[in-house]
A and B are shown apart, each in its own frame.
Chain A
Amino acid sequence: MKIRTQGAFFALLFLAAAAAAEVPADYLRSLDTAARADAAGFAGFSAARGAAWFSSSHGTDWSCTTCHTANPLGGGKHATTGRAIAPLAPAANPERLTETAKIEKWFKRNCNDVLGRACTAAEKGDVIAYLTSLNQ
């Protein structure tokens, strides 16, 4: 799905809010603003790009799927401690992606572990678009 205009972005926002996943609208808006500032040609977040990014490796031993598995609708397991991890996709776990502070806390930790750096706004927006696009 390619979103080319800001109008389409807000339509998606509305859809996301109407679905079970209620990603805070102001958080998504701030990601969108930051992504536009980072890249002049930025044309909106992409669930497809997020899906590819979620399962690729980024230069460390871990990718997102190492702990969260390739199916975010199912549960995962912490790679070192074996601790059970609840599903990431809001369709399977309505609590996910509902709190800005929590989302940012986990991006900070996990991006450091998986990429060895902070994630960009575009990467965050894409992976959120991917996770909220999943349906059971």
Chain B
Amino acid sequence: MIDDRKRSWFDGIVWTAAAVYLAMLVDTAQAADHRYAVDDATYQSECGSCHVAYPPALLGAGTWREIMRGLDRHFGTDASVGDSAHAEIKAYLEAGAGRPRSAASTMRISDSPWFRKEHREVDTATWKSPAVKSAANCGACHRQAEQGDFSERNLVVPRRESR
């Protein structure tokens, strides 16, 4: 009796650990590949006209919701969209949202420890060069960023400005 109960506890723990481990493996594999789905035409045309249509997986659902709530004051600009586009984009971002990565206070992907770690080899001069200028300008180095492909294979860091 007691043995049975112990065994079922043990089984539960083993299965939970296995599930967590598998989830971590999948997550790591996706992160290591640096390819993300960005496949909503409305999202791409509405948001992608001012900046790269960032992969939904790079922010948590709560942060996306907050961003969508304040589009008329979007990082210093008015980025309002029509009502139907707003609903579609919000649903798309929430459905594809990832683990919360960024500090909710800034809502910027580039402020997350994850982003800083991934870009630790990029020096200040490169960030400031006219070809890059902003951390929002993913396409300056990630040539396939528009397609959600941030893999190292498609990475070309522009030459720094000569001083």
Contact = CB atoms under 8 A, between A and B. Distances in A.
A80 B78 contact: no
B80 A105 contact: yes
A27 B76 CA distance: 29
B78 A112 contact: yes
A109 B77 contact: yes
Interface in B63-99: 72, 75-82
A81 B80 contact: no
Residue among B52, B78, B80, B132 having the largest count of chain A Cβ atoms under 10 Å: B78
Interface string B133-150: 110110110000000000
Give the secondary structure class of B's interface: loop
Contacts of A108: 78, 80
B132 A82 contact: yes
A110 B51 CA distance: 15
Interface in A86-111: 101, 105, 108-110
B20 interface: no
Contacts of A85: 49
A113 interface: yes
A36 B65 CA distance: 42
Given A101-B82, A105-B82, A82 B77 contact: no
B80 A109 contact: yes
B50 interface: yes
Interface size class of A (residues with CB under 8 A): 10 to 19
Interface in A24-79: 78
A101 B78 CA distance: 16
Contacts of B140: 82
B51 A81 contact: yes
Nearest to A112: B78
B80 to A, nearest CB: 6
B50 A81 contact: yes
B50 A78 contact: yes
Contacts of A110: 78
A85 to B, nearest CB: 8
A101 B42 CA distance: 14
15 contacts: A80-B77, A80-B136, A81-B50, A81-B134, A82-B133, A82-B134, A82-B136, A82-B137, A82-B140, A83-B50, A83-B137, A105-B80, A105-B82, A108-B80, A109-B77
